[in-house]
């Protein structure tokens, strides 16, 4: 089998890249080690920057998002028992879209099927056999048979635990990482959201976030110990603790109900450099992880593949490698700005173990300045709605 660009990973990054390249007449094959059903069962975040929304529209996968997505013109930052609204629309003229990552993935899968391009699911033991010569080559097993794919380039969109980054010699990569000393306990419930927009909460008992997936499905998070277990959190305890961290009016408005999904996610900041090694390019979670506080994970993957699609188009249309050579530096410039924003939001809103009284006062001063300064609110809004691609 041969193609121009091989894409490892059928998450939103890989699928979006496939659609962007299809629109430019570039042939791709997507390899995914899991089944389609497994990919669609992953529960992920759902706040889309305007740039990500525009990309989904560009590739013809935005119709359901327009019907079912929930535009948000701002968020609330709550501390000291008071909610303070950050008005994105008035501060930047932009907004974000709440639309579940699972739904965006489903739309992109349908777009992929309509394109007629090849996707291989349940590809076992995917291996990058060559990525430094004149061509690249991938191998995998399926139903007991060995398969081989020869291509010009490989896009590694297979996540933090994927084979792409692991195929690069460790000495060739520089790793930057911070692991945070807490996690997020999250629940999904078939209950109406407590607010029309997201509420980020700084509280002496720990961080909380009130979010949503639709007008009838809510997503809530609580900061918890990194070594905690969901077995310690029956629904009754979760709702009681969430109410304790909310301001009185929000707590009174909260509608509770049985959860149908519950999980604990660790928080980390992670970046590798560079994002290119020979004919292999890294994008999305294969290259970087952000704490979810800033809602940047999926959006950073979208900007990565936007840059990568432009670079591949330049190569195939103009036979120029300038875009490919500049990809790593160009993508990382935006990655590090998003890493900074996510780190700042995480540092400002969470309770850190062993934080001194001085550090706690500094955190409250930061929040008070944010709530009282239009310049500070604008800085948050500009980053939250997404910096330009």
Model pLDDT, residue 125? 96
End-to-end CA distance of the chain: 34
Angstrom distance (rounded) from CA 150 to CA 130: 9
What number of CA atoms fall less than 13 Å from residue 99's CA on the CB side? 28
Q: Is 99 a catalytic residue?
A: no
| Other Cβ atoms within 10 Å of 42 Cβ, number | 11
| Residue 180 a catalytic site member | no
The active-site residue out of 153, 292, 307, 327 is 292
Contact between 227 and 182 under an 8 Å Cβ cutoff? The reply is no
DSSP string of 111-136, one letter each residue: HHHHHT-EEEES-EEEEEEESSSSSE
E strand spans, the chain: 5-8, 28-32, 47-48, 70-72, 74-79, 82-87, 96-98, 118-121, 124-130, 136-142, 145-151, 153-156, 174-189, 199-201, 208-212, 218-224, 259-273, 276-277, 280-282, 288-289
Q: What whole-number distance in Å separates Cα of residue 280 and Cα of residue 156?
A: 7
Three-state secondary-structure class, residue 142: strand
Domain architecture of the chain: domains with CATH: 5-47+100-176+268-346 (3.50.50.60)
Q: Is-catalytic flag, 72?
A: yes
Counting beta carbons within 10 angstroms of the beta carbon of residue 87, is it exposed (0 to 12), middle (13 to 18) or buried (19 or more)?
A: middle
Q: Rounded distance, CA 376 to CA 367, Å?
A: 10
Q: Considering the candidates 99, 153, 180, 200, report the single residue annotated as catalytic.
A: 200
The model carries a pTM of 0.96
Q: Provide the pLDDT for residue 81.
A: 96
The tens-digit pLDDT sequence of the chain (389 residues) is: 999 999 999 999 999 999 999 999 999 999 999 999 999 987 677 899 999 999 999 999 999 999 999 999 999 999 999 999 999 999 999 999 999 999 999 999 999 999 999 999 999 999 999 998 899 999 999 999 999 999 999 999 999 999 999 999 999 999 999 999 999 999 999 999 999 999 999 999 999 999 999 999 999 999 999 999 999 999 999 999 999 999 999 999 999 999 999 999 999 999 999 999 999 999 999 999 999 999 999 999 999 999 999 999 999 999 999 999 999 999 999 999 999 999 999 999 999 999 999 999 999 999 999 999 999 999 999 999 999 99
Among 288, 296, 306, 350, the one annotated catalytic: 296
pLDDT of residue 158: 98
Confirm whether 296 is a catalytic residue: yes
Q: In the prediction, which pLDDT does 41 show? A: 85
Q: Of these residues, 153, 180, 307, 384, which one is catalytic?
A: 384
Whether 22 contacts 88, CB under 8 Å: no
Question: Does the active-site annotation cover 220?
Answer: no
How far apart, in whole angstroms, are the C-alpha atoms of residue 352 and residue 182? 8
What pLDDT was estimated at residue 107? Answer: 98
- Quote the pLDDT of residue 129: 95
Closest to 197 in 3D by CA, of 82, 100, 73: 73
Which pLDDT score, from 0 to 100, does residue 155 have?
A: 98
């Amino acid at each position: 089998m041969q193609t121009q660009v091989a894409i490892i990973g059928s998450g939103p990054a890989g699928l979006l890249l496939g659609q962007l390249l299809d629109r430019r007449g570039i042939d791709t094959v997507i390899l995914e080690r899991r089944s389609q059903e497994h990919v669609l069962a992953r529960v992920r975040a759902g706040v889309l920057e305007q740039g990500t929304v525009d990309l989904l529209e560009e590739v013809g996968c935005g119709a359901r998002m327009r019907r079912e997505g929930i535009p948000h013109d701002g968020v609330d930052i709550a501390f000291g028992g008071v909610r303070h609204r950050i008005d994105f629309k008035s501060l930047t003229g932009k907004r974000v879209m709440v639309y579940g990552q699972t739904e965006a993935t489903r739309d992109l899968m349908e777009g992929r099927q309509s394109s007629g391009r090849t996707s291989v699911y349940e590809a076992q033991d995917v291996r990058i056999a060559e990525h430094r010569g004149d061509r690249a080559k991938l191998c995998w097993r399926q139903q007991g048979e060995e398969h081989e794919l020869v291509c010009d380039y490989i896009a590694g969109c297979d996540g933090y635990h994927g084979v792409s980054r692991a195929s690069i010699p460790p000495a060739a990569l520089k790793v930057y990482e911070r692991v945070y000393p807490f996690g997020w306990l999250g629940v999904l419930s078939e209950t109406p959201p407590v607010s029309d927009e997201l509420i980020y909460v700084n509280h002496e008992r720990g961080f909380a976030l009130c979010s949503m997936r639709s007008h009838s499905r809510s997503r809530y998070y609580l900061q918890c110990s990194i070594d905690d277990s969901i077995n310690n959190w029956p629904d009754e305890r979760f709702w009681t603790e969430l109410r304790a961290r909310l301001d009185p009016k929000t707590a009174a408005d909260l509608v509770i109900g049985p959860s149908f999904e519950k999980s604990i996610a660790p928080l980390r900041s992670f970046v590798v450099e560079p994002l290119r090694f020979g004919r292999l390019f890294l994008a999305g979670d294969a290259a970087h992880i952000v704490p979810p506080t800033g809602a940047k994970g999926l959006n950073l993957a979208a900007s990565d593949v936007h840059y990568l699609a432009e670079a591949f188009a330049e190569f195939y249309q103009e036979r120029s490698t300038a875009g490919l050579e500049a990809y790593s530096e160009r993508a990382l410039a935006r990655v590090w700005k998003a890493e900074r924003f996510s780190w700042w939001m995480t540092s400002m809103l969470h309770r850190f173990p062993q934080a001194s009284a001085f550090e706690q006062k500094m955190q409250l001063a930061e929040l008070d300045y944010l709530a009282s300064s239009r310049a500070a609110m604008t800085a948050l809004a500009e980053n939250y709605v997404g910096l330009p691609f």
